[in-house]
Amino acid sequence: MPQDIDPRLLRAFAAVAEELHFTRAAARLFIAQQALSRDIRRLESALGTDLFVRTTRQVTLTPAGERLLPYARRVLAAHDDLTAAFVRDERPLLVDVGAKVGTAYRILTRTRETAPDLELVARFHSGLTGAAAEILAGRLDVSFGRVAGLAPSVLSRLDHRPVRYEPMTVLLPDDHRLASRAEIPLSALSGETLYAAAGNPQTAEWTDLATRLFAGRGIHVAEPFPEIDGEEEFIRVVRKRRWSVLASVEFIELPGMVLRPIVDPVPLSPISMVWRRGLRHPGLEALHGTVGTLAAVDGWLERPGDTWLPEPDARLMSAGR
């Protein structure tokens, strides 16, 4: 009978079982692949059985591995709950808001006003894909964004709450052929190329949403470009390259450019609040209070009729309410 199995070994096992790929599992855990393989061998030795069938093409669970997985998940969930229960409440809550404008920043600002005794420290990551990895690594507590764009193995370790159906817009150079219009029909963007953060792995969920929106409409995603770090650099690059940009309804101001709503239909960017499963903190409770208030007052979760939203996003937003 195995005794005192290190939770780290169970975490390694769960990661490989969910990814069915040692390289991806090692990246998810931020450890070397050799260290991950060593941990799996140690666990198999402690249990006296093989947990995976490994070939050059694939990794699969053995019957023993399938039997262990639900137990491992319960042990890890209890371990995370225990850790969270004894985290000192007075430590700062690290909240990723992306930029100093938009839905997430409004929520943070309002929460600071209504709960001034709590310390909510802002972080500015460029996308939920990158922020989710930081949350799972313990370097962030809360972020906001499109959860349907996250890998299932990542989303399964997070909790999330729908916040807003955020209308999407297009940012155009002020001399663009469409800039004089008050609204831009989606069909009018046919033939256009829009920047949607392709090439930035931190914002993969946003690029995926743009790709889904543009499909079959003759709209193209701008070619991949390295991650643009910071508002000042974003403004410089966009202006220099004269990109049109797929944006949200609340966006930074760019000199020489105009922000126009997209209509017929209105594409929606689904925003959720995301946090590490098992997290307990009064700051998180305060954020929940703010989300509930703003969503109710401003109708953030009311979806008008003539809108566009991918089915996976609609399903997750509805399930989370």
Continuous segment of H or E residues that includes residue 116: none
283 occurs within a structural domain: yes
What is the residue range of 57's domain?
7-85
157 occurs within a structural domain: yes
Q: Do 109 and 124 lie in a common domain?
A: yes
pLDDT of 56 reads: 84
Q: What percent of the chain has pLDDT over 90?
A: 67
1 occurs within a structural domain: no
pLDDT of 40 reads: 95
Write out the E strands in 133-249. 142-145, 158-173, 184-185, 193-195, 220-221, 244-248
209 occurs within a structural domain: yes
Q: Do 154 and 108 lie in a common domain?
A: yes
Q: What is the C-alpha separation between 13 and 41, in angstroms, rounded?
A: 10
CATH code of the domain in which 179 resides: 3.40.190.10
Query: What's the pTM value of the predicted model, to 2 decimals?
Result: 0.73
Q: Do 294 and 174 lie in a common domain?
A: no
297 occurs within a structural domain: yes
End of a domain among 85, 106, 129?
85
Least confident of 75-84, 148-157, 275-284: 75-84
2 occurs within a structural domain: no
Inter-residue contact 249 to 167 (CB < 8 Å):
yes
Q: Do 27 and 149 lie in a common domain?
A: no
Phi (first) and psi of residue 185, to 5 degrees: -60, 140
List Cα–Cα distances, 105 to 39, 98, 285, 289, in angstroms: 41, 8, 17, 15
Q: Do 16 and 79 lie in a common domain?
A: yes
Q: Do 197 and 262 lie in a common domain?
A: yes
| pLDDT tens per residue, range 116-157 | 999 999 998 779 999 999 998 889 999 999 999 999 989 988
Inter-residue contact 243 to 194 (CB < 8 Å):
yes
Q: Do 212 and 71 lie in a common domain?
A: no
Q: Do 161 and 177 lie in a common domain?
A: no
End of a domain among 85, 119, 148?
85
Q: Do 280 and 158 lie in a common domain?
A: yes
CATH code of the domain in which 26 resides: 1.10.10.10
Q: Do 285 and 217 lie in a common domain?
A: no
Q: Do 34 and 157 lie in a common domain?
A: no
DSSP codes of every residue in 157-184 = TEEEEEEEEEEEEEEEETTSTTTT-SSE
* Confidence at 3, pLDDT banded by 50, 70, 90: low
The type of residue at 108 is L
Averaged confidence pLDDT in the chain: 90
59 occurs within a structural domain: yes
Number of domains in the chain: 3
| pLDDT tens per residue, range 28-38 | 787 889 999 99
Inter-residue contact 92 to 119 (CB < 8 Å):
yes
Q: What percent of the chain has pLDDT over 70?
A: 96
Inter-residue contact 182 to 264 (CB < 8 Å):
no
The type of residue at 221 is V
Q: Give which of 204, 197, 196 is closest to 128, Cα–Cα.
A: 204
pLDDT of 320 reads: 60
Q: Give which of 209, 203, 250 is closest to 228, Cα–Cα.
A: 203
| pLDDT tens per residue, range 190-249 | 999 999 999 999 999 999 999 999 999 999 999 998 877 777 888 888 888 888 999 999
| pLDDT tens per residue, range 15-52 | 999 889 998 888 878 788 999 999 999 999 999 999 99
Task: Report CA Rg, the chain.
Answer: 22
* Confidence at 321, pLDDT banded by 50, 70, 90: low
pLDDT of 87 strictly over 80: no
Q: What is the C-alpha separation between 145 and 206, in angstroms, rounded?
A: 9
pLDDT of 231 reads: 76
Can you tell me which residue has the tokens 């990246």? 27
249 occurs within a structural domain: yes
Q: Do 278 and 253 lie in a common domain?
A: no
